[in-house]
Amino acid sequence: MSLCGFLAPDGVYTECEPWSHMETAGNLVRDLYNQDHLGGMQAEDYLYEKGYVFFYSRNAQKRFRGNVSPKIILLLSEQQKDFIINNLSNASNDSQRKDMIEILEWDADYREDSILSVMEVKLLNEQN
């Protein structure tokens, strides 16, 4: 299995063929969110704003900041983290695997406990 598709926050993975992401995104936003008027890049943007992780044949992508106002941080769900961790060996190539690891790292960096830990270390180092 190689990864090419969309991973929803609830952990549901929708596979698609390479080069058919826009069509699949349009189908998802129509079928799951009743957004008949969105297609192509708009459909992909909509899924990003819902917190999806994208797996392209060459890489993986996740937006952590939402474009809604006020700006929000869209963390990975536990289901998404589990899926990514459990599928690192299924990455299509080294670049996609690297992106998957970076997505997990970015998520950890955005989490409050991780940010507080970084700040604590920084403050302790400044005091010494």
pLDDT in tens, 15-40: 999 889 999 999 999 999 999 888 88
Mean pLDDT across the stretch 105-115? Answer: 79
Q: Which domain holds residue 97?
A: 5-127
96-122 in b/e form (b: 16+ CB < 10 A) is: bbebbeebbeebeeeeeeeeeeeeeee
Residues 6+ apart with CB under 8 A from 46: 25, 29, 33, 35, 38
pLDDT, tens digit (0-9, with 9 covering 90-100), for 67-93: 766 777 889 999 999 999 999 999 999
The residue whose two tokens read 């950890």 is 108
Number of domains, the chain = 1
Alpha-carbon gap, residue 11 to 115, rounded angstroms:
25
What does pTM read for this prediction? 0.83
Say what the pLDDT of residue 71 is.
Answer: 75
pLDDT the model gives residue 39: 85
